[in-house]
Amino acid sequence: MATEQYDIICWWENRAETAEACAARFAKMVDGLAGIDEVFRGWRKLGKTRASAQEPFCKTPADVAELAQIFDQNRAHYDSPKRVWPELGFSFGCWNGLDPPFETGMHVDAGAYANDRRTPNSVVIQASDHSKARSAAWTASELRTALNVMIDAWDAREAAVLSIRYLDMAPTGPPKKPGWPEVPLSPLVGWITFIPKPQTMLITPPAGISVEHTDRGDLYTLCEEPFNVDDPNHRARAAAMEEALRPIRY
């Protein structure tokens, strides 16, 4: 079977937040992720060469004051004339500085508001092929812990661990997130899918799919082992989950 690539991702609605508020959320996220595995620790700046991309992005543990400056330096701007575009918030990327199979990157869009997209804010982490602690492929339990950290830090509206290959062939088509202004909720089925309350009351979990209940909502996991599109059982579970989400899709 072919190797899957996964994105750990959360989205949330228009929310005007200061650089300081976003910095506090980011600090909570990266400190929480650092306790899960070394691949989520020691973030580096992006660079044109590998050598130039080894400069630390931020301190570990996180320093909120330092992060507030980083967010302030990464505000969205109009192209011409160049001036701050406050409605678009902040945007930047970083990576962990490790070689494959432990390499991973992150992109943050936060603080956007008055936007015609319903979920203009997001954090995307490209999962490494292996965890550092076990030198093995991730399990759902490990990535679900990371997803919960992200949801909690950003008070996210939607979240998932997405299989890139599955999204290309899923009934809903390739991801169009963030945004789809005509729909209030449009969850994408992933290896792990988070649905917020009270929408969880409208969902009947399919057989074989595990559910973790939290104060914010429920996380639906297709399988504990790595999800793979080439596995007929995994595809069947994904199809069943697509059907289970019909009541909350518009």
Residue 219 near residue 212 (C-beta atoms within 8 A): yes
d(CA 228, CA 244): 20
Q: What is the pLDDT along the chain (250 residues), one digit of tens a residue?
A: 567 899 999 999 999 999 999 999 999 999 999 999 999 999 999 987 777 788 999 999 999 999 999 999 999 888 766 788 889 999 999 999 999 999 999 999 999 998 777 788 999 999 999 999 999 999 999 999 999 999 999 999 999 999 989 988 766 554 454 443 333 446 789 999 999 998 999 999 999 999 999 999 999 999 999 999 999 999 999 999 999 998 887 6
Closest by Cα among 175, 73, 168, 78 to 124: 175
Q: Where are the domains of the chain?
A: 6-248
- The tokens describing 133, both together, are 């602690």
Residue 130 near residue 136 (C-beta atoms within 8 A): yes
| R_g of the chain, CA atoms, integer Å | 18
The pLDDT assigned to 2 comes to 66
